Amino acid sequence: AKAKNAGYTEPDPRDDLNGADVARKLVILARLAGLQIESINSFPVQSLIPKELEQCTSGDEFLERLPEFDGEMEKVKAEAEKKQKVVRFVGSIDVVGREVKVGLEEFERGHPIAGLKGSDNIISFYTRRYGSNPLIVQGAGAGGEVTAMGVTADLIKVLQRIS
């Protein structure tokens, strides 16, 4: 509810927790990288929505009932903590392996993804040049201003292409 009120979620927060928002972005990035990805149904997408809440008729009903299931996520986090790790919901594209996926993953506490806060996004580029020390691009990934800038950039590209 806090993230929705801050403008960090999709209008219906289930689109964030079911992995669809990340998956849509991965489809675009994977295609730009040359992979033949048909849709978000072309690769594994882990949903964080409890089965019992899949039939909620509105985002508000969903948010009202979601705290009932906080214990399940706390267990996942506790298991990772026992291994000195953190859990993050991530999307990844392995161009060489031709694999795309969305879901929970564990990271060492010193990993750049482990340090993400708030609405930040991070993209790590592992290439021949960067190898095990990836190029990292990190910054705000949600909110009205960020979204407005993205839409503006897209409109400029469209205008450039049609003129």
Strands 135-140 and 99-108: unpaired
Tell me whether residue 25 is one of the annotated catalytic residues. yes
For residue 160, the one-letter residue type is Q
Distance from C-alpha of 23 to C-alpha of 45, rounded to nearest angstrom:
7
Question: Which residues, in sequence order, are CB contacts of 107 under 8 Å at separation 6+?
Answer: 85, 86, 87, 88, 113, 114
Catalytic residue among 4, 25, 77, 85: 25
Distance from C-alpha of 127 to C-alpha of 132, rounded to nearest angstrom:
8
Burial of 68 (0-12, 13-18, 19+ CB in 10 A): exposed
* Residues that are catalytic: 25
